[in-house]
Amino acid sequence: MESKSLNRGLSAAKAAKQDEFYTQYVDIQKEVEAYLEFDPDTFRGKIVYCNCDDPFESHFFKYFAANFNKLGLKKLITTSYDGSPIAGQLALFPEYDEGNGKRQRPKAMAVILDQVKDEDGDGAANVTDVELFLQRNQAARIALKGNDKYPGGDFRSPECIALLKQADIVVTNPPFSLFREYVAQLVEHGKKFLIIGPKNAITYKEFFPLIKDTKLWLGTGFANGNAYFSIPAGSGREYSDGVYDESTGLVKFRNVGWFTNLDHGRRHEELPLMTMADNLRFSKHKEIKGKAAYDRYDNYDAIEVPFTDAIPSDYDGAMGVPITFLDKYNPDQFEILGITKTWHGGASKTYPMQTQVNKDGKESLVSKLNDGPAIKVNEPPTGQTYYRVGTDNFIQLYARILIRRRTRPAGGTEK
Ligand SMILES: C[S@@+](CC[C@H](N)C(=O)[O-])C[C@H]1O[C@@H](n2cnc3c(N)ncnc32)[C@H](O)[C@@H]1O
């Protein structure tokens, strides 16, 4: 028991450490600009809240403070977390070190800007002016105390929830270890948001229904899911080989994306596709070219489309496509029907079931809920994972999103 809870404690500490990576200014700028290109007034008159951000360390704060007037913001609220190990600004505000110099880490605080003016009289309003403004206006910075349950600056703490309620748009890169909870809170409060998160969240049972119902979609940045972040000095060795690059000081994460409910242009671009007949004759993919027909699932009425660019333009039935399809998803062109993934229980009642292939290569979508639980087995020596249900063995295929071509635009009339 003791070692179990010790393990839990250690993995929580590990998860917390792994949450410490910081977004680059240029990535925020590129992403925000994609929304401005679609609608220059996306942020105009809005209260933006960065709720996992140390002011003056976070580039989210820096970006929105520096572009406060250009974006036409009404207010910028930033709250930092008591426990964040980054501490570059101890000297800036006395509240940060509690006046005794003992505290190693910055205390949680909220910084609230409702204007950015040329404080230093150099003819421009920029981040230096923001620093001056904050030094001159103590009311714009508030120490956050938290409560019995949450430390100061925790996005779940009552103080932060009160600030969230004021906000129109939440923009940040939150701790991935709390991503489910983080998103659930935004949805519960009906907020607009633009956040960074792990792409594997797409298949979470709490998350996928939001995508299916177009309440949330992918943003535009981080081509192919490759994203680079800075980390606290000296923590490079905590990352496995090939993740941390000493020369740049950045870690490279695969499979990270922007998630949002703000509109942008790419989701209104039509994905150019070939007909089914042309795909079967000319596809660049050997898995499609020369076949008589697309493969079908055994017990779900859909064709298997292993590549997004192999989606036939003229097929009206259901199609199973890779998750990366979502990077190109235009809700006027396709509707999402479900996902081929069980969550070992309830969700498969709502969404189509897991695609599996048995050890002879026979594919099927399997509903074994009534036949007893699927037992996960790792096959030595390959280490391949498969599932045993009764006497049958099933290898898990990649998850597929099930889609159907819209014959009429979302909310529009029949073509
Ligand atoms: C992935 S980092 C990103 C930091 C910053 N938003 C950025 O993009 O540069 C997540 C941050 O959330 C902070 N954090 C961890 N748990 C938190 C919580 N419960 N509430 C608020 N912030 C938290 C961490 O200390 C960390 O600085």
Kindly report, residue by residue over 320-332, the tens digit of the pLDDT: 898 999 999 999 9
Residues 16 and 43 in one domain: yes
Residues 120 and 169 in one domain: yes
Q: Quick one: pLDDT at residue 150?
A: 95
Q: Is the pLDDT of residue 156 over 90?
A: yes
Q: Quick one: pLDDT at residue 415?
A: 42
Residues 76 and 14 in one domain: yes
Residues 95 and 239 in one domain: yes
Q: 238 is written with which tokens?
A: 């905590």
Q: Quick one: pLDDT at residue 276?
A: 98
Q: Is any atom of ligand 1 closer than 6 Å to the C-beta of 22? A: yes
User: Which residue segment(s) compose the domain that 92 sits in?
Assistant: 4-268
Give the C-alpha distances (Å, rounded to integers) separating 234 from 21, 239, 394: 12, 11, 44
Q: Quick one: pLDDT at residue 319?
A: 92
Residues 95 and 180 in one domain: yes
Give the C-alpha distances (Å, rounded to integers) separating 249 from 190, 230, 246: 37, 6, 5
Q: Is the pLDDT of residue 312 over 60?
A: yes
Examine the fold and report which residue of 245, 268, 291 is the final residue of a domain before the chain moves on: 268
Q: Quick one: pLDDT at residue 263?
A: 98
Cα 329 to the chain's mean position, in Å? 16
Residues 328 and 207 in one domain: no
Residues 211 and 90 in one domain: yes
In this structure, the residue with its CA closest to atom 19 of ligand 1 is: 154
Q: Is any atom of ligand 1 closer than 6 Å to the C-beta of 154? A: yes
Q: Is the pLDDT of residue 235 over 70?
A: yes
Residues 82 and 68 in one domain: yes
Give the C-alpha distances (Å, rounded to integers) separating 26 from 31, 59, 265, 271, 345: 9, 9, 20, 27, 42
Give the integer Cα–Cα distance in Å for 95 and 97: 6
183: how many CB neighbours lie within 10 A of its CB? Answer: 21
- Give how many domains the chain has, as a whole number: 2
Q: Is the pLDDT of residue 2 over 60?
A: no
Residues 203 and 78 in one domain: yes
Three-class DSSP category at 316:
coil
Query: Which of 96-105, 198-207, 326-335, 353-362 is predicted least confidently?
Result: 96-105
- Sequence-ordered list of residues with C-beta below 8 angstroms from that of 37, at least 6 positions apart, any chain: 264, 265
Q: Is any atom of ligand 1 closer than 6 Å to the C-beta of 80? A: no
Examine the fold and report which residue of 268, 285, 303 is the final residue of a domain before the chain moves on: 268
Q: Is any atom of ligand 1 closer than 6 Å to the C-beta of 58? A: yes
Q: Which residues of 345-360 are buried (b: 16+ CB within 10 A; e: fewer)?
A: eebbeebbbbbbbeee
Residues 246 and 340 in one domain: no
Residues 243 and 358 in one domain: no
How many Å lie between the centroid of ligand 1 and the Cα of residue 227?
17
Beta strands in 243-359 (DSSP E): 244-245, 250-253, 256-260, 302-304, 318-322, 334-339, 355-358
Confidence label for 100 from pLDDT (cuts 50, 70 and 90): very low
Q: Is the pLDDT of residue 363 over 80?
A: no
Residues 306 and 242 in one domain: no
Write the single-letter amino acid at 109. Answer: M
Q: Is the pLDDT of residue 184 over 60?
A: yes
Confidence label for 88 from pLDDT (cuts 50, 70 and 90): very low
Q: Quick one: pLDDT at residue 229?
A: 94
Examine the fold and report which residue of 253, 268, 283 is the final residue of a domain before the chain moves on: 268
Which residue matches tokens 């979609």?
A: 217
